[in-house]
Amino acid sequence: MAEQEASGLQVLLSTLQTSCDKDVILNILSVLTDLLSLGTGRRIHYVISKGGSEALLQAFTAAARIEPPDHSTLLPLLRLLARVGQRDRKFGLKVQKAEATDIILSLARRNLGQHLHLTHCLWVLRVCASNVTTGTTLGINGAVELLFKVITPYSKRNVRTVRAAIEALAALLKSKSNSQRAVNRGYLGGLLRLYQDWHHNDVSNNYIHIRRGLLLCLKHITNIQLGRETFLVSRGMEILFTSVQNCLSCKNLDPIITPVTQILRKCYPKEPLPVATVRSSYSFPLPGNVKAEPPCEVSEGDYESDGEEEAEKDLENEDVESKEEDYDLETDVNKLRSRPVLDRPEEELGQYEAMCPELSHNFQELESDSEEEKSLEDRTERLPFMPSHFIPSATSVKHPNYRWRNQSVTEMGPDPGEKDFKVSLQSWTKKEKCRWDQTDEKRDIAEAAQDADYYEEEDPARSHVLALRPLPKDAAWYKKMVYPECEASINPSPGGRLESSGIETRLLEKHQGDIPFHSPHFYIARAKRVKSIPDYKDLSFPDFWGHQPPPYSKPMLERKYGVQRDKVLDDVRRLIQPGDVIGRIVFDLDKPSHSSPGAPDCLTFFSKFESGNLRKAIQVREFEYDLIMNADVNSNQHHQWFYFEVRDMKSAVPYRFNIINCEKFNSQFNYGMQLVMYSVKEALQGRPHWLRAGHDICYYKNHYRCSAAAGEGVRGKFYYTLTFSIKFPHKDDVCYLAYHYPYTYSTMMSHLDVLEQNRNPKKVYWRQQTLCQTLGGNLCPLLTITSMPESKKRDDLEQFYNRPYVFLMARVHPGESNASWVMKGTLEFLVSSDPIADLLRKCFIFKIVPMLNPDGVINGNHRCSLSGDDLNRRWLTPSSQLHPTIYHTKGLLYYLRSIGRAPLVFCDYHGHSQKKNVFLYGCSIKETLWQAGCMVDTAVLTEDVGYRTLPKILDKVAPAFVMNSCSFLVEKSRASTARVVVWKEIGVLRSYTMESTYCGCSHGLYKGLQLGTQELEEMGSKFCLGLLILHLKSLPCSEKVMAQATLLLDLEEEITDRAQRYFQIVSLF
Catalytic residues: 995
Burial 41-68, CB ≥16 within 10 A → b, else e: eeebebbbebbbbbbbbbbbbbbbeeee
DSSP codes, 907-954 = EEEEEESS--SEEEE---HHHHHHHTT----TTTS---GGGGHHHHHH
Any idea what the Cα angle at residue 619 is, between residues 618 and 625, rounded to 5°?
80
- The torsion angle over the Cα atoms of residues 647, 648, 649 and 655, rounded to 10 degrees, is -70
The partner residues of 700 in beta bridges, in order of sequence, read 721
How far, in whole angstroms, is CA 1052 from its chain's centroid?
33
According to DSSP, the β-strands at 654-662 and 690-693 are unpaired
Count the Cβ atoms, other than its own, within 10 Å of residue 585. 16
Rounded Cα gap, residues 905 and 947, in angstroms:
9
Question: Which residue from 449, 354, 458, 349 is spatially nearest to 779, judged by alpha carbons?
Answer: 458
How far, in whole angstroms, is CA 389 from its chain's centroid?
29
| Sheet of 584-588, strands arranged across | 271-272, 695-705, 718-727, 654-662, 624-628, 616-621, 584-588
DSSP letter at 1003? S
DSSP codes, 352-395 = GGGG-GGGT---TTTT---HHHHHHHHH-PPPPPPSS-SPPPGG
Residues in the chain: 1069
Contact 602, 584 (CB under 8 A): yes
Contact 751, 763 (CB under 8 A): no
Contact 625, 619 (CB under 8 A): yes
Rounded Cα gap, residues 255 and 857, in angstroms:
46
Rounded Cα gap, residues 224 and 699, in angstroms:
25
Rounded Cα gap, residues 669 and 695, in angstroms:
10
Return all residues near 113 (Cβ < 8 A) that are at least 6 apart: none
Phi/psi of residue 535, nearest 5 degrees: 55, 65
Rounded Cα gap, residues 719 and 721, in angstroms:
7
Return all residues near 271 (Cβ < 8 A) that are at least 6 apart: 703, 704, 705
Rounded Cα gap, residues 1069 and 1066, in angstroms:
6
Helix (H) or strand (E) holding 705: strand 695-705
Helix (H) or strand (E) holding 786: strand 779-787
Q: DSSP 3-state assignment of 841?
A: helix
DSSP codes, 228-268 = HHHHHHTTHHHHHHHHHGGGTT-GGGHHHHHHHHHHHHHHS
Rounded Cα gap, residues 780 and 842, in angstroms:
26
Contact 826, 849 (CB under 8 A): no
Establish how many alpha carbons lie within 13 A of residue 524's alpha carbon, considering only the half-sphere containing its beta carbon: 16
- The torsion angle over the Cα atoms of residues 943, 944, 950 and 951, rounded to 10 degrees, is 20
**Residue type for position 612:** G
Per-residue H/E/C for 634-650: CCCCCCCCCEEEEECCC
Query: How far, in Å, are 365, 515, 536, 742, 858 from residue 609 at the CA level?
Result: 45, 22, 6, 12, 8
